[in-house]
A and B are shown apart, each in its own frame.
Chain A
Amino acid sequence: MSATQASPSAFAASLRHARHVVTGNAVTGLAFAMFFLFLLCAAFGPLIAPYDPLASNTAIALQPPSWAHPFGTDQLGRDILSRVVVAARLDMTVAIASVALVFALGGLAGVAAGFFGGWTDRVVGRIADTIMAFPLFVLAMGIVAALGNTVTNIVIATAIVNFPLYARLARAEAAIRREAGFVLAARLTGNSELRILLTQILPNILPIMAVQVSLTMGYAILNAAGLSFIGLGVRPPTPEWGIMVAEGASFIVSGEWWVALFPGLALMLAVFCFNLLGDGLRDIVDPQRRS
């Protein structure tokens, strides 16, 4: 196919386009820069961190930020900067894994519901309604408490809580395209219904789903941190932003603000970054913008 022949240049064009999106909009550029910083921490956290995040030294407990410890130390004398950097890996893993899971399941279920209609639609719709009927964070708490206190279960709980968002969005977008000319044309050129679903409908709603991904990514991080904050999921002494905020909270009253502030700031920036990323991501995956 001529399309495959042209793939090296198509790849170059995609790169050029991505560069345009990142450099064309300062906010998107900033979001991507922050995203890569977080990814860097997640990938090489233990190597970058100046100290061992678990090594306690009560002699230097609760020291304010200094050159030796830019984010200060906690009640056990552990370096907070190291802990914040190392925690990125766990928090990002939970967020990405749960979003990937819900993207695949919710997206497929929603697209099938919108495209096939009928019983598929009713079943998916009622499942989504049932999940929406609960306060989402309480539901996530319940799932983790019932399934067991592990990171895997946090991922599953976060994915389930986000399911309606994905399923409903994908359903609406698929239903709009169900009668589109190119879908009818695909039917006439001998594509089976399943193939139409996967090659005609799904790729065309990816741009919209991409925005949803980055929005829920922020929410997934908050959800995971929130569960740890109330004592579900990750246990101390594992470095994790939610736990660190929870541990630091009791010291704010006594004036040791840095213990809770820095992990909280990391959490806030991560959520902020993912929300900003949404627009940029949409521009990259949308072929209409590529001209």
Chain B
Amino acid sequence: MSATTTDNPPLLEIRDLTIEFATRAGPVQAVRQVSLGIRKGETVGIVGESGSGKSVTSYAVMRILDRAGRIAAGSIGFSGIDLPGLPEREMRDLRGREISMIFQNPRAALNPIRAVGRQIEDVLIRHAQATRATTRARAIEMLEQVRIARPEERYHAYPFELSGGMCQRIVIALALACGPQLLIADEPTTGLDVTTQKTVMELVTELTRARGMSTLLITHDLGLAAAYCDRVVVMERGRVVEDAPAQQIFRAPQHPYTRRLLRATPRPGARLPDLLPEGEAPPVEAPEATPGPVLLDVINLVKEFPRAGSGGLGSWLRRGPALPPARAVDGISFQIRRGESVGLVGESGCGKSTTSMMVMRLLERTSGSIQFDGQEIGAIAPRDVTRSALRRRIQMVFQDPTDSLNPRYTAGRAIADPILRLGELRGAGLEDRCRELARLVGLPEALLGRFPHQLSGGQKARVGIARAIALNPELVVLDEPTAALDVSVQAVVLNLLQDLKLRLGMSYLFVSHDLHVVKLLCDRVIVMRQGRIVEQGPTGQVLNQPAADYTRALLAAAPAAP
């Protein structure tokens, strides 16, 4: 694959591409003088953090920039055709037949009210790749190729009946149906579980290689690029800063930004301070962990959800016994000691978030016991929790920093909220405390008057953390606090969390899907699957000598930068 000969002319050649967006403050260049080429059969990755212009570049190739964006300079050549100059009619023929694209959210990319088989047929018919008589067979063949089990049956399925990984496979089938020469995959596995990510990426690699196709993989994940690309292009703020064979990028990164990005990526063997850029002060050195008395004791916790359609008129009309309720959390027990951080790891739907919501008393438990500092809190109804004395002692940092901040509160007001409701400080004392909290989480004081949409993702995450620690809680539940953040921001936030924990003596329940991240911050790990605990123990032991097959599969599926 990397043995592509030099005389092989590029299939796609982008030269000095500059893309401008018209905004209120005048034109903004999202992409500046970007040049890159993809040869036939080559897989090229564009890696960069949010705002680096990697997606915009691919939209320009497909000519699907939104109305405010335009190509200001440069050229895009596709096997000799000048794409920006092509009439829209011809471009429409090209899309799907010669160049096709996979998007980040497979569910959003599929028409929700049309059977998936019909959607594949639509593409085939649009590009005259099949006649009415043969489309059905062709569509089923495509489903087979993307390894959908029982393709004849699934032909009639609607997107909502399929899992996220299966939807992405359908999208891949759509993209490859007409045998294009170039596939653009824009964050194709973001939002999918690691094991699903692995199967999807392997499928893409296998199918494209078999057809001799070229692939442009756009991702924020260096590990993913390392595992599946021949060549990697690193972009920063609209510019290409490095373009080299994958192995070389990881072994001998040239540009300082690439080096910073590599450093910030959680990888085997790295410790938390290793993630920060060189020369930056590491947090307080972790003293030898001395777990205190048990703070949180969860015993045989169960959460059942009624199945859809049970109860009400539906069950009354239906014959036969009612379906048993679904068990999202199926009798789990664990402990968190004072000053300890415990990671709760698992894939989507394993019950980890449900568990954290029950600990937070945002969700009623079905049975089992939750003891906090020796006191049974499981019986407190979610609606009474606001008034209980407990509220000050357990707090939470939410997954999505944007969604968890009221768009109409300034950062300062959001941080002050818990103190106003549950604390005693008012007036000048409150202002001082907010400033102190901002300092503690590294949020510039000047930003306290801003609204969430005026803050970056990392700044919003800091506001969320400051709000959670405002009342000096004893236990903080962190629900994927870095999942929505860029790696470099994630590195800083993880270090901040570690620093705060050591300084303030809090305990963490860290909920995450990413074992590499959990390893950095946690003393102990609990691995969950389908509502049950598969394995738990000290972090080093679980990650280095996993006892359960599932833990081993999780570890193997996570792509890591070499």
Contact = CB atoms under 8 A, between A and B. Distances in A.
B344 interface: no
A1 B413 contact: yes
Contact of B386 (A10, A180, A187): A187
B405 interface: yes
Contacts of B386: 187, 190-193
B410 A2 contact: yes
B430 A1 contact: yes
Given A3-B410, A191-B386, A181 B404 contact: yes
A188 B391 contact: yes
A20 B467 CA distance: 33
B17 interface: no
A122 B160 CA distance: 28
A190 B473 CA distance: 13
Contacts of B552: none
How big is chain A's contact interface, by range? 20 to 34
Main secondary structure of the interface of B (DSSP, over half): helix
A191 B421 contact: yes
Nearest to B394: A188
Interface string A177-188: 000111011111
A204 B416 contact: no
The range of chain B's interface size is 35 or more
Q: Counting chain B CB atoms within 10 Å of each CB, which of A1, A191, A204 scores highest? A: A1
A6 interface: yes
Contacts of A191: 386, 417, 421
B412 to A, nearest CB: 4
Contact of B362 (A20, A24, A187): A187
B18 interface: no
Contacts of A70: none
B399 A181 contact: yes
A291 interface: yes
Nearest to B395: A188
Contact of A3 (B418, B422, B449): B449
A288 B453 contact: yes
B434 interface: yes
Interface string B382-424: 0101110001100110111001111110101100111001100
Nearest to B401: A181
Contacts of A204: 406-408
B67 interface: no
A185 B408 contact: no
A6 B454 CA distance: 15
Considering residues A188, A191, A200, which has the most beta carbons from chain B within 10 angstroms of its beta carbon?
A: A188
A189 interface: yes
Contact of B391 (A180, A190, A203, A290): A190
Given A184-B362, A185-B398, A186-B417, A287 B385 contact: no
B206 interface: no
Contacts of A290: 451
Contacts of B399: 181
B360 interface: yes
A290 B451 CA distance: 10
B403 A181 contact: yes
Q: Which of B385, B399, B407, B453 has the most CB of A within 10 A?
A: B407
A189 B422 contact: yes
Contacts of B400: 181
A181 B405 CA distance: 7
Given A1-B413, A20-B24, A188 B407 contact: no
A20 B24 CA distance: 10
Interface of B: 24, 360, 362, 383, 385-387, 391-392, 395-396, 398-400, 403-408, 410, 412-413, 416-418, 421-422, 430-431, 434-435, 445, 448-449, 451, 453-454, 464, 467, 470
Given A182-B404, A189-B417, 9 more contacts: A182-B406, A182-B407, A184-B362, A187-B385, A187-B386, A188-B418, A193-B386, A203-B408, A291-B454
26 contacts: A1-B430, A3-B412, A3-B413, A5-B431, A24-B24, A181-B403, A181-B405, A182-B403, A182-B404, A182-B405, A185-B405, A185-B464, A185-B467, A187-B386, A188-B362, A188-B395, A192-B387, A193-B383, A200-B406, A204-B407, A204-B408, A287-B407, A287-B453, A288-B407, A290-B451, A291-B24
By Cβ-Cβ distance, the 6 closest A-B pairs, closest first, are A181-B404, A190-B421, A189-B418, A181-B403, A190-B422, A6-B449
